[in-house]
Structure 1
């Protein structure tokens, strides 16, 4: 849905968003915030109730009401028959996922000032769901990241508890009044709903700020990096005859995820995959250069091909001697695991890459 289409549905002077009162969760807190990122909802009132008559007065209702119908602006997911998922995913949506699915592109287009039909908007739309919203959907629907039975069968046990520091857990904490951070009124017996609504507002801001940070980072760092990696990938035949060396022209480019995606899109056979990536250590002229082995996948510590074993854990002049006359002096180090190394010059690191690929 575009911002313009959504705006036609709603009269600016009567916009009300409805959600349930009582115990609140991360999904509706995020859903409300995302809606309010759009111009037509920016000044919306929030009605927190389970009363059907009051919900009927709201133009948009999330996480309550027993209805999912985009044409009626109703986004509940608690119905027995509800099975909707984000395209090409298996996780059942929460109210956050429903709102994101219908309004996410409009939110991204507004934030980036790109046309909603721009391919970069679609890339970010997929990225933000994968990296952020899907975890909120899974948490609210009680879906574990791992199969508990398989973990038990494998004898894998948690070393410590981490659940208390997740965003849903922090939202959960806001359901309980904090005497060190009072809300609207300390007299909660007289104004319990106002106090609860105040804390829901804090939860919504918490979730929304986290979402915005993810969106901003993806738009300003992750997305520009894709074009850099894609250009380097297309020029790989110019860098080494094997076509298995990627040369990045600048430091600090988040290249891994892009490389795997671009290789997959290109249908690159396994025997032609990129083995090593080289890049300057810093932006300044005369910077040292790094060589890094490409791991088998994003989560793996196993490389497609590691730097040669005789180089590992060796530094400076000793490494120069091991590398031999084919590589100019100026080697800095190779990590003991063989996943990364360095040289003082671009020419030196290119020679290291050539020997590593050939070896």
Structure 2
């Protein structure tokens, strides 16, 4: 049985093709593929699939380049032009989700993960490779907003770039062959981005996806604890609570009540005598600003002193910034939330 081959360009590599190659190899038909890195059209023509080089986007021909002048493909619902990573995900993402998780292609859960992984992970690869910033730089400049520090080293793309100049390890090449050394660096970069992707998909499949039903249940019944729906209680699970934030923002948007929930209660663990936490909801998914922080008088106070200040038995702590606190019982944490929404 002949070995299938994936082709991509040689020379300086980027995060998008490093991820594209890894993604393809998650599919059964490409799991054992050889890799050819070249810009020679004759060699590329022999490859079964080609990414990020060749000037052709054709799923039927298994060609996934995005450098053509006329190229304008985007992921459904997004305005970000695709890179080779996004192209592979657009055409093969559902199959990759199915191969890794066992979900049926076409199922609602498979579709949800296909979109979620693009939004939360792969779109950033596309934007980076196409020179698209997360914020409008002109608007930021006009508003007089300046960065507080340089964060160039705090992205997957910047780490991948370092592999272009990294030392070769574990005797990966012979006789100092420059091309083989470059290929070895690329494979290290591909393994790195692939591990990050796999961690993301595993978390979304094993934790995020099952949590949706729990959080939806909690959202539907939130008036049980506060008539205005400002307190959300996440049901206790064997591990404690469930990842709720992302689902909460989505559910609020779907129900036309964005910004309504101020505090979320969840158990620290799955034990019957678990302590409970109260968390102030952030104004947005990536914000450190709270919709309503816990009362200023409680912040930085602990145990009996906090119980006295709050007038609630069993208080454990409230963080100095007011974003989270705790009580030894659910009833105590709920009382903290009820008082906090009225302060």
TM-score strictly above 0.5 = yes
Secondary structure of the residue aligned to 1:164 is coil
- Alignment partner, residue 7 of structure 1: none
Q: Post-superposition shift, 1:258?
A: 0.9
Distance 2:316 2:273 in 1: 14
- The answer to whether 1:80 aligns with 2:69 is yes
Preserved contact between residue 183 and residue 199 of structure 1 (Cα < 8 Å): no
Distance 2:286 2:242 in 1: 18
RMSD: 2.3
- Alignment partner, residue 331 of structure 2: 347
Secondary structure of the residue aligned to 1:163 is coil
- Alignment partner, residue 209 of structure 2: 223
Q: How many residues get paired?
A: 340
- Alignment partner, residue 95 of structure 2: 106
Between 1:32-41 and 1:116-125, the stretch displaced more is: 116-125
* Residue number among 308, 313, 319 corresponding to 1:321 in the alignment: 308
* Residue number among 279, 282, 295 corresponding to 1:292 in the alignment: 279
TM-score normalised over the length of structure 1? 0.86
Distance 1:97 1:228 in 2: 31
Distance 1:340 1:235 in 2: 22
Q: Post-superposition shift, 1:351?
A: 1.9
Distance 1:201 1:314 in 2: 51
What is the CA deviation profile of residues 219-241 of structure 1, one whole-angstrom value per residue up to 9, with x for unaligned ones? 11222222221121122233333
TM-score normalised over the length of structure 2? 0.90
Q: Post-superposition shift, 1:174?
A: 2.6
Q: Post-superposition shift, 1:113?
A: 0.7
Distance 1:124 1:172 in 2: 28
* Residue number among 202, 213, 222 corresponding to 1:236 in the alignment: 222
Relative to 1, partners in 2 of residues 1:337 and 1:50: Cα closer, same or farther, differing over 3 Å? closer
Distance 1:290 1:65 in 2: 54
Displaced runs of 4+ in structure 1, greater than 6 A?
none
- The answer to whether 1:338 aligns with 2:322 is yes
- Alignment partner, residue 256 of structure 2: 267
Secondary structure of the residue aligned to 1:332 is strand
Relative to 1, partners in 2 of residues 1:202 and 1:304: Cα closer, same or farther, differing over 3 Å? closer
Q: Post-superposition shift, 1:340?
A: 2.4
What is the CA deviation profile of residues 250-278 of structure 1, one whole-angstrom value per residue up to 9, with x for unaligned ones? 334221111010111223365xx222211
Relative to 1, partners in 2 of residues 1:151 and 1:72: Cα closer, same or farther, differing over 3 Å? same
Which structure has the greater CA radius of gyration? 1
- Alignment partner, residue 281 of structure 1: 268
Distance 1:179 1:353 in 2: 55
Structure 2 unmatched runs, 5+: none
Preserved contact between residue 17 and residue 52 of structure 2 (Cα < 8 Å): yes
- Alignment partner, residue 55 of structure 1: 44
- Alignment partner, residue 189 of structure 2: 203
